[in-house]
Amino acid sequence: MVSTLTGLLELELKLVLGTFPELDLTCWAEIYEYYTDPENGTLLYEDNVTNIDLDVPLGGTETLTFDDFNFANEGIYGLFLSMPDENDDIPKNNGVTWGIGIDDTDPVASHALNPATPDGENGWYVSDVEVTLDAYDPEVLGVSSGVKEIKYRIDGGTTHTITGNHGTFDVDTDKDNRQTH
């Protein structure tokens, strides 16, 4: 089986046929949540697609589309797909389980200035200021998506991107600069 999870709400499965044609198959999909019952999980979703005919051997494909599912809570889920076939000589390849982590918690960002306090009179900086940005994504119920990048801009200007969760840049223009991140 080759599969793609096209979004949190839609599941599309692409089946690749083996050596022999198979007719009138059924594929089951189940989603279990593991954050309240880490041992066994709680069944939240069931769906199946019936009357699947895989009649072109070695390279034939069939795309199955299941009903949408809306994850109501953050946490760890398991997606189990099964397509049993009585005639299959290797039945272990007829099922697959994927882990799904749902993260709805916003990342947290902070900044530090160097020098930390203005080095001129009346609260003004007279030298360049190095700005350090840090971001992290808190883990909730065993899931954290992480931070791919930090975007910032100064005085509503061009948006700049820092790859990862940490980076620095210098402010070296003379004016009342205000950063957003």
Looking at the structure of the chain, the number of domains it has is 2
Residue 115, domain extent? 108-180
CATH number, residue 78 = 2.60.40.10
Question: Do 94 and 30 lie in a common domain?
Answer: yes
Domain boundary among 36, 70, 102: 102
* Whether residues 167 and 79 fall in one domain: no
Residues 90 and 145 in one domain: no
Tell me how far apart the alpha carbons of residues 89 and 111 are, in angstroms, rounded to a whole number: 60
pLDDT band per the 50, 70, 90 thresholds, residue 172: confident
**Ordered DSSP codes for 137-171:** ---BTTB-----EEEEEETT---EEEESSEEEEEE
Tell me the pTM: 0.67
Mark whether 94 and 116 lie in a shared domain.
Answer: no
Q: Which residue has the tokens 């882990």?
A: 99
Determine the pLDDT at residue 19.
61
Tell me the residue length of the chain: 181
**pLDDT interval class at 112 (50, 70, 90):** very high
Write out pLDDT tens, residues 155-170: 888 999 999 999 999 9
Is residue 55 located within the same domain as residue 9?
A: yes
Task: Give 40 or 137, the one with higher predicted confidence.
Answer: 137
- Of 78, 102, 126, the one marking the end of a domain is 102
8 and 88, same domain (yes or no): yes
Is 9 a residue whose pLDDT tops 70?
A: no
Q: Both 44 and 115 in a single domain?
A: no
